Amino acid sequence: MRRVVRRSVPLRWSLILAFGGVVANASPQPILLIYQERVPFVARDGQKVDTNVSLQPYLVPFLRELRKVQVEWYTPDHPIAQQFAQQRRVPPERLTQPAPELLAQLARAWRATYLLRVRCLRAQNQLEYRAELWQLGRRSALWQAEGFQGGGTGNGGEESSLQSLARTLAMRLDNEVWQDLPTNLPPPPEPTPPVPVRPEPATPPKDFATLLQTYLKEGRWTEALLPLRSLIHQNPTDVRLRLQLVQLYRNLNQRESALRELDSALQLAPQESALHLERAKLLREGGDLRSAISALQSALQSNPDSDELRSALVECLIEAGQIAEAENELRRWQGGSPPRSWASYLLVGATRRFEPLPAQPITLNEEGMRVWFLVVSGAVTDLASELLEMRQQARADTPNWRDLQSRAERHTLSILRLGAWLEAVQPSEALRQSVQRLRFSAQLLSQSSQQMARYLLHRRSEDEERASLLRLESLRELEAVRNALQATTP
């Protein structure tokens, strides 16, 4: 639960910030200086306990994602604070918890436009927070909020609550205070320095393999084509060399040449599953799912025991939205293997059953991330849309509260099963952060569903508002992962 506090601001702070003057900001973005207040230790069971919780690792990333302000976190050992203390002869102990007058002077030393004072405390099984935004030159606080954030202290409950609280504060500042501030685009990437042109060696290498490795190491893809083709001419049935040539064409963005090379290679080695898989992958990347499915079905006729081909076919069918055909393919697939477990796991998610869960963790790598994210994003979006539909039906003239309550209970159970399904994957290191954010998105959606169930039961407006906000936070997390994946896709 949270509430916005609109109370009179102490005259002391009003005079300090109003008459402190506004220093022109040399940065292209206004500077936001954040100061976290700390309360003294409290006595519990004869011991002193620190109830303060730092918001820095949670709040700063979310504020920076807005790209509206330049975020600075106040610390007494910051160079600006140290230089200020030296020039003004301020004792170091006063920098630890600066008085309002001193904090206002420090904000001007930072050339800050905004000063955000925050406080976050542990209070039993929830967090108590307060935030107050000042704009230098104004006589009163620009924005205030305080309240409680639910969440336990075990099994990551406090971590999720802090992330949710930080996201909420950032969203509210963006929507209620900084909606008219321009969003700064990220700086353009540093230009890649051109590969220096190296003179050809006076004495060529003894063989094509050495020459090929030299060109590949230096990134000279075009020049590597000739020695690689010479090696293929000497070893026409070497599948490894054929696949290496296809990869060279990929590096050169010559997709049609890569497909032609695969067709030629398959005429010599029609039983090679690796060639069929690479061809289907190129077709999928080009958006030609129908051709990819047809190619994999033809390949399975001559390679019926290839688990890799059948797994790729199930992926393509799911990506094309042909869920019934994918289920039929899985039923025809006998035996047990990691590729079959992966295909079964995907179909459980694509059909929104999320059960049964695999007995062993499912490895998730870059190859499978595309279709896995497609299933996850579809499930989260569908469940979020159902929440919105329940909210709209609850606002009707004569809502069926009993039916809506039963539907909300089923909805909450579905999201809990989705969370368990997401936990079944073991991502590679490169995908770990994206998977964590998707799990966090599902957690936010679960909290939204529970708040909606409370609203339908007790019909308190604050429960409805909280459910709506958590739903939006969940979709924002999902969109952030989608943008990150698109940015890393070649």
Q: What would the mean pLDDT of 209-225 be, rounded to a whole number?
A: 87
Q: What would the mean pLDDT of 144-171 be, rounded to a whole number?
A: 77
Residue 111 CB: number of other CB atoms within 10 A? 19
* Residue 463 token pair: 């429960």
Nearest in space to 275 (alpha carbons), one of 288, 263, 287: 263
Q: Is the pLDDT of residue 203 over 60?
A: no
Q: Is the pLDDT of residue 354 over 90?
A: yes
Half-sphere exposure of 265 (CA within 13 A, CB side): 27
Residue 250: the pLDDT is: 86
Nearest in space to 87 (alpha carbons), one of 117, 70, 71, 108: 108
First to last CA, the chain: 43
% of the chain surpassing 70 pLDDT: 88
| Mean pLDDT of the chain, nearest integer | 86
Omega cis (within 30) before 356: yes
Alpha carbon dihedral 176, 178, 181, 184, in 10-degree steps, equals -120
Neighbouring residues of 40: CB distance < 8 A, sequence distance ≥ 6? none
User: Could you tell me the sign of the dihedral formed by the alpha carbons of 412, 415, 420, 421, in that order?
Assistant: positive
* Residue 259 token pair: 């497909």
DSSP string, 286-324: TT-HHHHHHHHHHHHHH-TT-HHHHHHHHHHHHHTT-HH
Residue 295: the pLDDT is: 92
89-125 pLDDT per residue, tens: 888 888 888 988 888 889 999 999 999 999 999 887 7
Task: Assess if CATH 3.30.390.50 describes domain 208-346.
Answer: no
- The single-letter code of the amino acid at 118 is V
Q: Is the pLDDT of residue 287 over 60?
A: yes
Q: What would the mean pLDDT of 267-281 be, rounded to a whole number?
A: 89
* Residue 398 token pair: 């004569």
119 DSSP β-pair partners: 130
User: pLDDT class for 8, splitting at 50, 70, 90?
Assistant: very low
Separation between Cα atoms, residue 107 and residue 80, nearest integer Å:
10
User: pLDDT class for 150, splitting at 50, 70, 90?
Assistant: confident
Separation between Cα atoms, residue 455 and residue 215, nearest integer Å:
65
Q: Where do the structural domains in the chain lie, given as residue ranges?
A: 2-176, 208-346, 366-488
Contact 274, 367 (CB under 8 A): no
Separation between Cα atoms, residue 62 and residue 67, nearest integer Å:
9
Contact 188, 173 (CB under 8 A): no
**Which helix or strand (DSSP H or E) is residue 3 part of?**
strand 2-3
Provide the CA 51 distance to its chain's centre, in angstroms. 30
410-462 pLDDT per residue, tens: 999 999 999 999 999 999 999 999 999 999 999 999 999 999 999 999 999 99
User: To which residue do tokens 């009179």 refer?
Assistant: 8
Q: Which CATH architecture has domain 2-176?
A: 3-Layer(aba) Sandwich (3.40)
Q: What would the mean pLDDT of 170-193 be, rounded to a whole number?
A: 75
Half-sphere exposure of 12 (CA within 13 A, CB side): 5
Pure H helices in 287-428: 289-302, 307-319, 323-332, 338-350, 366-394, 401-423
**Higher per-residue pLDDT: 92 or 14:** 92
**Which whole-number Å values give the CA distances from 79 to 75, 84, 116, 397, in the listed order?**
9, 8, 20, 61
Contact 241, 231 (CB under 8 A): yes
Model confidence, pTM = 0.58
